[in-house]
Amino acid sequence: PRFTARYAPDGTIHFRATRPGDYELLVSDGKPRTIRVSADRQPVPLEGDWEVRFPPGWGAPPRTSFDSLQSWTEDEDPGIRSFSGIATYAKQFHVGEKLLQDSPRIELDLGEVREVARVFLNGEEVGISSFAPHVLDITRQIRQGENSLTIEVANTWLNRLIADDALPRNQRLTHTNLDRGPKLGQRWRDAEPLPSGLLGPVRLRFPRQFPITKQ
């Protein structure tokens, strides 16, 4: 299992493990500590519609709504299916007072991302996630009541190159001096599109931390 330990300003060590169970730690004073880690509370999914905005001039509509998260390559709109670049997802969600009181730490789990995500919560940048697991700490940015979440997601250029290779030269949006696809001798148009966008599921997580006090 994955685990972390960090020092608090008062010298206390806060231990965090992804699986419940008994853990034995040996700290710098040479004394072992046994910690019983209980399971985290159930995550809260951010369900419902997502507003998605695409930049102009790249074939996709400037604004649309997704009632569920899926790869752009599965969309009915051909401009979205072949889109390469950065799209912006936006959602409002509500957080109750009790949830904040009972959760000293809150994380945003983006689920599957293809390929890179930059997250803003309530107008403040939370961070960039390039590799799985796409989980960011939002304890400081989240607030009671309505919250505004914005996620910028970028994919690779492959899907647009595939679409452009099947178009006349004067209708293409991209240009490359490479005349082959990902495989040697393959045309771009014959390559398989890559899943793209925010695939989720997006959830709020509430990891438990267990303090190890000085003895």
pLDDT tens across 150-177, in order? 999 999 999 999 999 999 999 999 988 7
CB atoms within 10 A of CB 84: 25
Q: What is the mean pLDDT of the chain?
A: 87
Q: Is the pLDDT of residue 208 over 60?
A: yes
What is the model's pTM? Answer: 0.83
Residue showing tokens 């966008």: 197
Contact assessment for residue 6 and residue 22, using Cβ atoms and an 8 Å cutoff: no
Contact 141, 126 (CB under 8 A): yes
Overall residue count recorded for the chain in this entry = 215
The CA distance from 48 to 51, in Å, is 10
Min mean pLDDT across 23-37, 53-67, 92-106 is at 23-37
User: Is residue 137 classed exposed, middle or buried when 0-12, 13-18 and 19+ CB atoms within 10 A define those classes?
Assistant: middle
Residues forming beta bridges with residue 66, ordered by sequence position: 50
Structure confidence at residue 201 as a pLDDT band (50, 70, 90): very high
> CA 117, CA 124: separation in Å to the nearest integer?
15
How is residue 6 annotated by DSSP?
E
Choice among 10-24, 85-99, 154-168 with the minimum mean pLDDT: 10-24
Across residues 94-105, what is the average pLDDT? 90
Tell me which of 210 and 70 has the higher pLDDT: 70
What percent of the chain has pLDDT above 90?
65
Tell me the H-state helices in the chain.
Answer: 78-81, 97-101, 158-165
pLDDT in the model for residue 1: 47
Tokens of 56: 């102009």
- Locate 204 and state its tokens: 């709020």
What mean pLDDT is predicted for residues 101-117? Answer: 94
pLDDT at residue number 8: 62
Which of 3-12, 44-53, 66-75, 181-190 is predicted least confidently? Answer: 3-12
Strands ordered across the beta sheet of 210-212 = 3-7, 13-17, 210-212
**Confidence (pLDDT) at 69:** 98
pLDDT for 145: 97
CA distance 210 to 167: 58
Q: Which tokens hold the place of 150?
A: 């914005």
How far lies 126's CA from each of 119, 129, 207, in Å? Answer: 5, 10, 17
